[in-house]
């Protein structure tokens, strides 16, 4: 999963490096998903689901509180 996170073209992740995110499989709700957490603070950043659109087939559900929006 870490390789796919670093290669995605989603703009918000362009500011994160794979070293800043740790991942773990999460099956708490009886579905397969990957939990994303901050490497240093252990904050829950959200989840990645394997049912997204092509080409990656990944769907990101990111906690809005984990984002810092910057006006352009």
Q: Tokens 């490497």 — which residue?
A: 39
- The reply to whether 61 belongs to the active site is yes
14, 31, 43, 61: the active-site residue? 61
Residue 28 token pair = 């708490």
Beta strands in 1-72 (DSSP E): 21-26, 33-38, 44-49, 59-62
Q: In which element (H, E) is residue 5 found? A: helix 2-7
DSSP-assigned letter for residue 7? H
- Residues classed as catalytic: 61
């Amino acid at each position: 999963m870490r390789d796919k996170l670093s290669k995605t073209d989603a703009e918000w992740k362009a500011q994160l490096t794979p070293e800043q995110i740790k991942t773990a499989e999460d099956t708490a709700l009886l579905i397969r998903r990957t939990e994303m957490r901050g490497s240093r603070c252990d904050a829950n950043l959200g989840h990645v689901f394997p049912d997204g659109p092509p080409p990656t087939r990944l769907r990101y559900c990111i906690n809005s509180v984990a984002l810092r929006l910057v006006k352009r």
